């Protein structure tokens, strides 16, 4: 896996392109931190990716 032992922080990752990006990073072995304004949506997305992924709420603008 290309991104084994790496951490990826993806903003806006609870849905759409952000979620697709987070999924691609996870598929390549990265631990993904899902960032979104909506904590519950971020937690659901992280849970779909697997046990080693995390969710945080926040505005990065």
- pLDDT per residue, tens digit, the chain (61 aa), is 899 999 999 999 999 999 999 999 999 999 999 999 999 999 999 999 999 999 999 999 8
The 54-57 sheet, strands edge to edge: 7-11, 31-36, 54-57
Report how far residue 19's alpha carbon sits from residue 25's, in angstroms, rounded to the nearest whole number.
10
Domain residue limits at 50: 7-57
> Would you say residue 42 lies in a domain?
yes
Q: Structural domain tally of the chain?
A: 1
> Would you say residue 1 lies in a domain?
no
| Main-chain phi, psi angles of 59, to 5 degrees | -110, 120
Q: What per-residue confidence (pLDDT) applies to 44?
A: 97
pTM for the whole thing? 0.92
SS3 34: strand
> Would you say residue 2 lies in a domain?
no
Alpha helix segments (H runs only) across 1-61: 16-27, 39-49
> Would you say residue 51 lies in a domain?
yes
Q: What per-residue confidence (pLDDT) applies to 1?
A: 83
> Would you say residue 29 lies in a domain?
yes
> Would you say residue 16 lies in a domain?
yes
């Amino acid at each position: 896996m290309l991104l084994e032992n790496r951490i990826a922080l993806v903003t806006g990752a609870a849905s759409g392109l952000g979620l697709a990006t987070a999924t691609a990073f996870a598929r390549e072995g990265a631990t993904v931190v899902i960032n979104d304004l909506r904590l519950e949506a971020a937690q659901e997305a992280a849970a779909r990716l697997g046990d080693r992924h995390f969710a945080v709420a926040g505005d990065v603008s």
